[in-house]
Chains A and B, each alone.
Chain A
Amino acid sequence: MPGRWDWLKEELSGISMLTKLPTMTKFLKGKISGPDDMTKCSMCPNMCRHACPISIVDGKETTSPAGKSRVGMMIENEVLSLDRENLLPIHMCLSCGCCEIWCPFDFSVSDILRPVKTRAVEHNIVYEEFVELFDDLRENGTIYEEIEDQGDLPDDGDVLYLRGCEYREGDSEVIDRTMSVLKKVGTDPFVIYDEKCCGIPAYNTGNIGLFEDLIEDMAEKIRGSGADRVVTSCPSCAYAYKELYPEFDQNIDAEISHIVEFLEGKKLKFAPNKNTDRFTFHEPCKLVNGLGKKESMQDLLDRTGLELEKPRRNGDETFCCGSGGTTVSRLNEELSSEVARERLSELKSLSDEIITSCPTCKRTFEDNDEEVKVHDIAEIVDGLL
């Protein structure tokens, strides 16, 4: 079988070594080591623009995937100074990973740009909105002012259910229903009352120092719980525990899954569907792209027997709810809402009953539209089990 570069060798066989060597070297260097990722992305014609929720909705070159990398490159090259105004486009990223699915280099722009964000934080170039967030995270260990844990949930069992800041703050109903599902599948779920943020908001904003502090604390809590299985409602939390913690040397022995992953492959006996409503669904980007569960949510929903309308953008072509990535919703609320409305208009053309599996997506849709009814998948599963 001919090798990848035989065509080039053959092409050059007639040319003198002296002429071909410099060109050949540059050419092969481009392939083998090549420029850094940010430069590569800057030179791309935006081959993932169509999938980027920000780019589709905002419509600006500056906030397109390659556009953000170009701004990053210009900051690194000191064409632009490292200041709040110039950093703003870089922060217009939902960390949704929708670019990665299409990228010929498998880049995620949010990863490419994190070092620039981190450098900014290190130089104390942060926005007021971030300062507030950092204070809450540092002082209260959550993205909100202190959360009062309510209810009467067991603090001992075999599966640790980490509820996440969003549901702990506002949705005890979903928490109860998730506990119920976990019980119905034969586990003995429990919570930890001093649960803290998984740290991902600090990671997204580039505050790696704070992120490391938060994860040290939280990893210790999880380890201390003695659980060998952990289930989350929030796909970003699961992503952090599974993917980011080990990267930052915080290993957790317990098996971690988002609730959808957890139910995958479990024998579930659903009651015959008496619900005449038609539902549509929204797959969270961190479940699909972060955790790589491209079909899991649809598979689970299919098993319920509900009447489902599939949105055009589903599976690994899913769209962000508008609040992913921490920064857009804090620095540009209008843009975040525009992304939400774009997604909602697609979903609402199918049904006002939306099923999702992420607390942030649920809250974002509810905040942006009073007509829709948004269900966490645990509520649906619990109702039918």
Chain B
Amino acid sequence: MKKKDEGKVDKVIDKLSESFEDNRLSTKKTDLLSYSHDYWPISLHWMLEDKFPSIPNAVVWPEDKEEVKEVVRWCYKGRVPLYPYGGGSGVLGATVPEKGGIIIDLKRMRSLQVDDQDLLVEADSGLNGYYLEDSLNEEGYTMGNIPQSLYPSTVGGWVGTKATGQFSTKYGGIEEMLKGIEVVVPPGKILNFKPHPRTSTGPDLRKLFVGAEGTMGIMTKGWFKIWPYPERRIKLSYASERLEDAVESVRKVMRRGAEPAVVRIYDEMETKRHFYDHEDIYGKIATVIIIEGDEKIAEVEREIVEEEFIGEYKGEGPVDHWLETRFNVKEASEFVPMGVVFDTIEVAVNWSNAEELYERVIESIKPIKGVLFASAHASHFYPQGICFYFTFAGTPPRKKDAESFYQQVWSEAMKAVIGSGGTISHHHGVGRQRKDWLEDELGGGLKMLKDIKEKIDKRDIMNPGNLGL
């Protein structure tokens, strides 16, 4: 940050210190370094190398919307960059304060209220994901948004990134759950889009903040649809000979209108990796399925799956194994400090191009020098298509640093996705990692997005640089 800009930030921090006590506004080095990264592998790598290229000037923890408004107002006045922060579990650098400025962490805003009759939950943006889902379960409901990052992430981050959970094939992505939203936008205005079952009142402005990754404003609270806690859960698993068989089976299931909550199809390598102790599945294509909800509907859905599935039925065991291990996140901890580059890339594609996309992405990554493996599973399904979740690991070859090796893999994968008619992100978003491919994805739409952003945030304070905006 330039000297002149430092002065502006200091003035804003001074102003904020009039209303925020010491423990809710910090310029301490421990705090600044703690907010210099999120879960973007590049930023984790920086941390391991003791490099801190993006450090904020301050961190603030508001407790209500008025305080959020105050922060936005002063930052806007002082032209100081402001980065909304939830759980920092985003994997694409969307909270990395690349231009310095202020991080606004929403986690101290965390109340929730359930409306039984309307089947809605009103949740503050900083509310922890597990806290929300567990509280709902306790009262006999579910929201059904269970990302693998349920434990560390927040409601605001879910909306910010347009997240989807493991149970999304039934419950949908966060955009389908979000019924109303309260946001603070520059220059410091609170907007409240109340929840309705549906509304036909011009373009849906609520959606402007879904997947905006903190570039349009700050969500302070949302209203989400909830469901009575499922009375029945059915667990099914299959081993198929070919990936195409499993994919085709699920396509037919979806086409018939059945909506299993969880469907996961693992390619051969991931089947071996995840189910190495299930001898009868090893080397095949494993699919795990969970159907849940109303007893009668669930039974009908089971029948549909059983009628359509091409593969050998393998019982509940593999599903239980998945349920037990689904939150075991260990890879980055074990391998990244040893110099292994490791990441995941999730994309979506219509059924007609599914096979081609899978093949092309794997084939584009594997030959890269240093790549150890590339594999995928399919994790979210629609009547129209499928989400593939690729995983790769490798070590940079001699004379190549980790960052450029990483970018090379990403670049090849993105090209393969676009070339086979897919979308470059299914649920992680864009952040600072995918921004260079956004134009290929949106075409002229990117200019429109930039115009909208400029209109809302003329001084470009909201998460500047994120999404390439």
Cα A279 to Cα B415 in complex, Å, equals 62
Q: Which of B31, B33, B48, B337 contacts A60 (CB 8 A)?
A: B31
For A27-59 the 0/1 string (1 means CB < 8 A from B) is 101110011000111111111111100001011
A131 within 8 A of B: no
B327 contacts across to A, CB distance below 8 A: 47, 102, 104
- Count B-side interface residues using an 8 Å CB cutoff: 63
Q: How far is the CB of B248 from chain A (nearest CB, A)?
A: 25
**In the bound complex, do residue B130 and residue A34 qualify as a contact, i.e. CB atoms below 8 Å apart?**
no
A39 to B370, CA, bound (A): 24
Residues of A within 8 A of B373 (CB): 8, 11
Chain B contacts for A46, CB-based, 8 A:
87-89, 151-152
Q: Number of A interface residues at 8 Å Cβ cutoff, please give it.
A: 59
- Interface residues in A61-96 by Cβ distance below 8 A to B read 61-62, 67, 70-71, 74, 77, 79-80, 85-86, 88-89
The answer to whether B39 touches A45 (Cβ under 8 A) is: yes
B401 in the interface (beta carbon within 8 A): no
Q: Known A45-B149, A312-B138; judge A27-B393 contact (CB<8 A).
A: yes
Q: Does A183 make an interface contact (CB < 8 A)?
A: no
Asked if residues B34 and A61 are in contact (CB atoms below 8 Å), the reply is: yes
Contact of A26 with B39 at beta-carbon distance under 8 Å, contacts A2-B276, A43-B333 already known: no
A11 to B392, CA, bound (A): 12
B330 touches A27 (CB 8 A): no
Of B89, B279, B370, the residue contacting A23 (CB under 8 A) is B370
| Any A CB within 8 A of the CB of B93 | no
Main secondary structure of the interface of A (DSSP, over half): helix
Q: Is B105 an interface residue (CB 8 A)?
A: yes
Complex contacts, B89 vs chain A, CB 8 Å: 45-46
- Contact between A30 and B372 (Cβ–Cβ < 8 Å)? no
Q: Which residues of B contact A35 (CB under 8 A)?
A: 333-334, 337-338
Query: Does residue B335 face the partner (Cβ distance < 8 Å to A)?
Result: yes
Given the complex, which residues of B lie within 8 Å of A77, measured CB to CB?
50
Q: Flag if B395 contacts A6 (CB, 8 Å).
A: no
What are the interface flags for B343-381 relative to A under an 8 Å C-beta threshold, 1 for contact and 0 otherwise? 000000000000000000000000001101100000000
For A49, what are the chain B residues with a Cβ–Cβ distance below 8 Å?
87, 128, 151-152
Residues of chain B within 8 A (CB-CB) of A43 are 44, 48, 332-333, 336-337
Smallest Cβ-Cβ distance to B327: which chain A residue: A47
The yes or no answer to B269 lying at the interface (CB within 8 A) is yes
- A61: contacting residue among B88, B138, B340, CB under 8 A: B88
Contacts of B335 in A (CB 8 A): 26-27, 30
Chain B residues near A85 (CB-CB < 8 A): 28-30
**B380 to nearest A CB, angstroms?**
20
B469 sits at the interface (CB 8 A)? no
Alpha-carbon gap, A10 to B277, bound state (A): 16
Is the CB of A1 closer than 8 A to any CB of chain B?
Answer: yes
Question: What is the 8 Å Cβ interface bit string for chain B, positions 114-129, against chain A (1 contact, 0 not)?
Answer: 0000000000001011
Q: Indicate if A334 sits at the interface (CB-CB under 8 A).
A: yes
Interface centre among A30, A67, A74, A102 (most CB of B within 10 A): A30
Q: Say which residue of A7, A27, A67 sits within 8 Å of B276 (CB atoms).
A: A7
Q: What is the chain A residue whose CB lies nearest that of B23?
A: A334
Residues of B with C-beta under 8 A to A61: 31, 34-35, 85, 88, 105
Q: Does B391 contact A (CB under 8 A)?
A: no
Q: In the complex the two chains form, what is the Cα distance from A24 to B339 in whole Å?
A: 11
Residue B47 interfacial (CB < 8 Å): yes
A50 and B395: CB pair below 8 A? no
In whole angstroms, what is the CA distance A26 to B372 when docked? 11
Chain B residue numbers with a CB within 8 Å of A6 are 272, 276
In the bound complex, residues from chain A placing their C-beta under 8 Å from that of B35 are: 61
A24 to B244, CA, bound (A): 30
A2 and B330 contacting across the interface, CB-CB below 8 Å: no
**Cα–Cα, bound, A34→B39 (Å):** 20
State A85–B87 Cα separation when bound (angstroms): 24
C-alpha spacing A179/B370, complex, angstroms: 69
Cβ contact within 8 Å between B30 and A89: yes
Contact across chains for B47 and A3 when beta carbons are under 8 A apart? no
Q: Is the Cβ of A26 less than 8 Å from the Cβ of B105?
A: no
Q: Which residue of A lies closest to B44 (CB)?
A: A43
Q: State how many angstroms separate the Cβ of A324 from the closest Cβ of chain B.
A: 20
List, in ascending order, chain B residues with CB within 8 A of A74's CB: 30, 33, 50
Contacts of B138 in A (CB 8 A): 312
Distance between B439 CB and nearest chain A CB, rounded to angstroms: 30
Q: Identify the 3 closest CB pairs spanning chains A and B, nearest first.
A: A59-B107, A7-B272, A50-B130
Residues of B within 8 A of A (CB): 23, 28-31, 33-35, 39, 44, 47-48, 50, 52, 59, 61, 85, 87-89, 105, 107-108, 110, 126, 128-131, 134-135, 138, 149-152, 269, 272-273, 276-277, 279, 282, 327-330, 332-340, 369-370, 372-373, 393-395
Q: A50-B151, A59-B108 are in contact. List 18 more A-B contacts (CB 8 A).
A: A7-B269, A23-B340, A24-B372, A34-B333, A39-B337, A43-B48, A45-B152, A46-B87, A47-B327, A50-B134, A58-B108, A59-B105, A59-B110, A60-B31, A61-B31, A61-B34, A67-B34, A80-B29
The 30 listed contacts between A and B (C-beta, < 8 Å) are A2-B276, A2-B277, A2-B279, A7-B272, A7-B276, A8-B373, A12-B372, A23-B372, A26-B395, A35-B337, A39-B337, A41-B333, A43-B44, A45-B39, A46-B89, A49-B87, A49-B151, A50-B128, A50-B151, A51-B151, A59-B107, A59-B110, A62-B31, A70-B34, A74-B33, A77-B50, A85-B28, A86-B30, A105-B330, A312-B134
